[in-house]
Amino acid sequence: MNKFPISPLFIPANKLEWIAKTFEKGADSIILDLEDSVPENEKSQAREDLYLHLKENNYEGNLIVRVNPVSDKIGQEDIKVLTQTSLSINAFMLPKVEESSSISSLPDVNLIALLETPRSLKNISSIAAEKTVKGLALGGADLSASLGSTMDWDSLLYARSKIILEAAINNLFSIDSPFMDIENLKALGEESKKAKMLGFNGKAAIHPSQLEVITDSFLPNEAEISEAKEIIKAFNQSSSAVIAFNGRMIDQPIILSLEKRLRLVGIDPKNID
């Protein structure tokens, strides 16, 4: 991945003309959806068209392809076709992945496990430990339907917390579930900030109007970037395990948090001015 996907936007994989337009609207990542967005009788053609399009076109932003479930032949065929030639695909998102065994048999490519069933949460530790898994994402709509719960923040807090814990243990990035009320940008901002506070690196979007709110909620501003650089420099120049900076105690855990802040905007914390 070029960097953590902060506001990956879902678009149908059979709407290839939307890719360039979506990046122009501010998406740092696009999730091309071969699963729910494409009718069953169009899936094979959509896959072939996507392959031909990406064979002839390159994109600078992150391109993620959500394939069909790899527990079915069609999902396995999605990955087989789209990995037969080097394409500008940064990762494949695996929907409804429930067992690590369904991952270990796949090609050696970057994978994002979409956790959206009770069984996927039960087996999250083994799924997250697979070496090809680079990120974890919450599929709140399907999970809440399975649980019989609402999609409210508190209803899925346990699932979110499990994802953050396993992402931290396995050094993976994490993507929170989309917010479905497209017109309620205020509530989107509130939920995005909660997701960031919990530890998520980004939140998926389902409409371009959500991109700015999500990005502003997750990305540090210029003052926060500058502060992080200054603190890291001061800490690295000190021989002590703990330093004082503007009245704050700074130790290694805080440095690690500040380094993550810089990585969100593509800055290497080990190589700052």
pLDDT, residue 270, reads 87
For 87-134, the pLDDT digits (tens) are 999 999 999 999 999 998 899 999 999 999 999 999 999 999 999 999
Residue 230 tokens, joined? 């200054």
Identify whether the C-beta of residue 64 lies closer than 8 Å to the C-beta of residue 91: yes
Q: Which fold has domain 9-218?
A: TIM Barrel (3.20.20)
Residue ranges of the domains in the chain?
A: 9-218, 222-264
For 47-67, the pLDDT digits (tens) are 999 999 999 998 888 999 999
pLDDT, residue 263, reads 82
pLDDT, residue 266, reads 81
Distance from C-alpha of 185 to C-alpha of 23, rounded to nearest angstrom: 20
pLDDT, residue 25, reads 87
Ranges under pLDDT 50 in the chain: none
pLDDT, residue 1, reads 60
Give the global pTM. Answer: 0.88
Distance from C-alpha of 245 to C-alpha of 230, rounded to nearest angstrom: 9
Please give the sequence-ordered ranges of beta strands (E in DSSP) within the chain, or none if there are none. 9-12, 29-33, 62-66, 91-94, 111-115, 133-138, 173-176, 202-203, 243-245, 248-250
37, 66, 160, 179 from 72: Cα distances, Å: 17, 14, 27, 28
